[in-house]
Amino acid sequence: MIKYIEEWGTGTNRILEECLKYDLPEPLFEEISGSFLVTFRKYHISGTTLEKLNERQRKIVNYIRKQKKINRRECMRLLNTSKDTAIRELSYLQEKGIIKRVGIGKKTCYLLT
């Protein structure tokens, strides 16, 4: 039994590594009614959608894919731009349903939907 548990533990780490390797979100691991369920997810952003974004917007999306989130200050640094431009780009991505705003005030950040 211990051997199986050990393999199970290293298997979940390998799954996480592979997802990160291919820029996919971390899968969901759940125990339901004595069974172990792994749900693989993908980002809802198609190649066509990305092609319609400008270079700054694509930078934001790619940053969030790697870092999991972005805040306004990080966005300003990433784009080397003003606060107004960062807010405008983040707002556009929000309106298109590509990112969502989470938190209030200084704790506000943006995640992929």
* 60 neighbors 93 (Cβ within 8 angstroms): yes
Contact (Cβ atoms closer than 8 angstroms) between residue 93 and residue 49: no
Structure tokens at 45: 């952003």
Structural domains in the chain, sorted by start: 2-39 (no CATH), 47-112 (1.10.10.10)
Q: What is the pTM of this model?
A: 0.63
Residue of 112 and 21 predicted with greater confidence: 112
Of 49, 78, 73, 52, the C-alpha closest to 63 is 78
> In this structure, what token pair is assigned to residue 38?
């792994």
pLDDT digits (tens, 9 = 90+) for 31-60: 888 887 888 876 667 667 778 899 999 999
DSSP result, 17-74: HHHHHTTPPPPEEEEETTEEEEE----S--HHHHHHS-HHHHHHHHHHHHHS-B-HHH
- CA–CA distance, 14 with 96 (Å, rounded to integer): 34
Asked whether residue 10 carries a pLDDT value surpassing 80, the answer given is: no
